[in-house]
């Protein structure tokens, strides 16, 4: 399709230099709200670029790990300051390349800023333990050590927040980075690299290689000099990465799919629960790992709530996210949109659920040149139906009715995933039982399934990941190794477990 503008030529940043060429040619990044608008042309890197980037990061690591952590953290704080000033500009580009509405891309940028300031503080903490030793005149403590070169493979749904979740703590901990951003949103990642350089990061400590997952991602995962791969994306790719990383015994941190549910009990504030459900299901066009894709309703309020939900959802304005009146942007690309359409077919023909609203591609008028899909609600959904089990990652909500609290929890847990969850109730006992019994990394009480803040761990149980948590101080467990240190100042050989318990 002919471009309506002259696209910007973007570059990779490898080994301290911006380079326009890639061994796999170039690729285009288009605006999903209007595909005639080409955001940029990017070099498509390959194995050669990954090798060069990893070598540079390895070289930079030798010096960067010796810079005191509070100094490293100052650079991250400065990056946060630059992001504050550039917030509008970053968010405009992000909406253009990814589609979500401006209020949300501003939130995404803000999450990056919050991460910068939180992580900058970590430069003066990174606590270890000091513990008493069992032998006299002996001192014991544990310290966090950096791990080396970290490979980051990031998704398109949070183009700023998620790269910062990974890159900022990795750098503060003394590691260096090679970033492979999603091909749908490389412009925001290039901007992040520019910001880090402007903030004073040694150039070789950060490298960005744009390009496809099969080429650039694979090369990073298989590289013997990459110590850690941090990946956010699909379950299928996460499993492949884990298998491929085994040969080099690389640490892999995964944040994968979700099938998050919101429960609404019969005693809930229904207006509040409605606002939560609509925001959770259709915010970001349903393209969050934390999106509400199942709504579990107590049978006493189900009929009324479904009516309210359909009425409220009908009013959502779908369109170009740069228009302030729009509430739901496009789906990120054609294949994602087709995937959403495929699941609507499955819901209707295979699962035989009831289509209560939506279900169609929007491709007329203002929607003619983008990848739009109607906010869609299925009712009469049974817990084991495919639309209640498989991650759709689009504006499709499956509504399940249950008879009581116990069944609500059972249905919520009946999934392969376990990222986010929510319950609306005014009964404090039920709220605490839900916190105890829900199998998920995040549980909200009287709030939607989305809204995680950077100072608490982010991640999930079961098929959502492999036990790691991003954000909070827990992210440091991904990017550091523990060293236990013993200092014996007795001047003689002291034998632990032997001299103390002699006899
Ligand atoms: C994601 O969907 O991958 O809680 C991240 C939220 C955001 C982060 C979402 N703060 O929805």
Q: Which residue blocks in 324-456 are alpha helix, DSSP H?
A: 334-345, 386-389, 405-413, 428-437
Q: How confident is the model at residue 500 (pLDDT cuts 50, 70, 90)?
A: confident
Question: What's the pLDDT tens digit per position in 22-76?
Answer: 999 999 999 999 999 999 999 999 999 999 999 999 999 999 999 999 999 999 9
Q: How confident is the model at residue 502 (pLDDT cuts 50, 70, 90)?
A: low
The Cβ-side half-sphere exposure at 318, using a 13 Å CA radius, reads 25
Phi, psi of 20 (to 5 degrees): -85, -20
Question: What's the pLDDT tens digit per position in 270-302?
Answer: 999 999 999 999 999 999 999 999 999 999 999
pLDDT at 134 over 70: yes
Ligand 1 binding site (Cβ under 6 Å of any ligand atom): 111, 157-158, 288-290, 450-452
Residue 458 DSSP one-character state: B
| Residue of minimum CA distance from atom 10 in ligand 1 | 452
Q: How confident is the model at residue 6 (pLDDT cuts 50, 70, 90)?
A: confident
Question: What's the pLDDT tens digit per position in 167-213?
Answer: 999 999 999 999 999 999 999 999 999 999 999 999 999 999 999 99
* Cα 324 to ligand 1 centroid, rounded to whole Å: 22
Contact 465, 456 (CB under 8 A): no
At 503 the pLDDT is 59
- Domains of the chain by start residue, with CATH: 8-256+465-484 (3.40.605.10), 260-445 (3.40.309.10)
At 3 the pLDDT is 57
Task: Give the mutation target among 283, 458, 468 for probing the ligand 1 site: most ligand atoms within 8 A of CB.
Answer: 458
CA 284 – CA 4 distance, rounded (Å): 26
Task: Give the mutation target among 106, 108, 158, 159 for probing the ligand 1 site: most ligand atoms within 8 A of CB.
Answer: 158
Alpha carbon distances (Å) from 289 to 96, 264, 292: 21, 21, 9
Above pLDDT 90, what percent of the chain?
98
**Helix 69-85, helix 87-98: angle, nearest 10:** 80
């Amino acid at each position: 399709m002919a471009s309506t503008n002259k696209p910007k030529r973007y570059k990779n940043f490898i080994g301290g230099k911006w380079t326009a060429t890639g061994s796999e040619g170039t690729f285009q990044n288009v605006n999903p709200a209007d595909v005639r608008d080409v955001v940029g042309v990017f070099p498509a890197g390959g194995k050669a670029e990954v090798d060069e980037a990893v070598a540079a990061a390895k070289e930079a690591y030798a010096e960067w790990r010796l810079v005191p952590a509070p100094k490293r953290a100052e650079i991250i704080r400065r990056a946060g300051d630059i992001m504050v000033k550039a917030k509008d500009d970053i968010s405009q580009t992000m909406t253009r390349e990814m589609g979500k509405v401006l209020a949300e891309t501003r939130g995404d940028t803000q999450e990056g800023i919050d991460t910068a300031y939180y992580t900058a503080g970590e430069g003066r903490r990174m606590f270890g333990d000091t513990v008493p030793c069992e032998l006299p005149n002996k001192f014991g403590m544990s310290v966090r050590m950096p791990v080396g070169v970290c490979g980051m493979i990031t998704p398109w749904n949070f183009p700023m927040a998620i790269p910062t979740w990974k890159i900022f703590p990795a750098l503060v901990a003394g590691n260096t980075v090679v970033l492979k951003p999603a091909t749908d949103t490389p412009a925001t990642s290039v901007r992040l690299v520019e910001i880090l350089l402007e903030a004073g990061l040694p150039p070789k400590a950060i490298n960005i290689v744009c390009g496809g997952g099969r080429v650039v991602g694979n090369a990073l995962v298989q590289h013997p000099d990459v110590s850690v791969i941090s990946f956010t994306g699909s379950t299928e790719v996460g499993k492949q990465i884990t298998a491929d990383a085994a040969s080099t015994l690389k640490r892999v941190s995964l944040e994968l799919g979700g099938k998050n549910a919101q429960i609404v009990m019969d005693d809930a504030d229904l207006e509040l629960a409605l606002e939560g459900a609509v925001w959770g299901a259709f915010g970001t066009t349903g393209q969050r790992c934390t999106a509400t894709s199942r709504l579990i309703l107590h049978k006493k309020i189900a009929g009324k709530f479904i009516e309210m939900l359909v009425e409220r959802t009908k009013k959502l304005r779908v369109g170009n996210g740069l228009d302030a009146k729009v509430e739901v942007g496009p789906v990120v690309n054609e294949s994602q949109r087709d995937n959403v359409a495929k699941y609507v077919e499955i819901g209707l023909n295979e699962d035989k659920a009831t289509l209560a609203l939506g279900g169609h591609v929007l491709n007329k008028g203002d929607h003619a040149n983008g990848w739009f899909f109607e906010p869609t609600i299925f009712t009469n959904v049974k817990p084991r139906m495919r639309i209640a089990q498989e991650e759709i990652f689009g504006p499709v909500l499956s509504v399940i009715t249950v008879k009581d609290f116990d069944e609500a929890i059972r249905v919520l847990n009946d999934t392969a995933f376990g990222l986010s969850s929510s319950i609306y109730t005014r009964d404090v006992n039920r709220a605490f039982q839900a916190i105890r019994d829900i199998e998920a990394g995040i549980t909200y009480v009287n709030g939607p399934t989305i809204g995680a803040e950077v100072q608490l761990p982010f991640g999930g149980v079961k098929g959502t990941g492999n036990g790691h948590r991003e954000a909070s101080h827990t992210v440091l467990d991904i990017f550091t190794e523990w060293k236990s240190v013993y200092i014996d100042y007795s001047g003689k050989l002291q034998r632990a477990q032997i001299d103390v318990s002699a006899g």
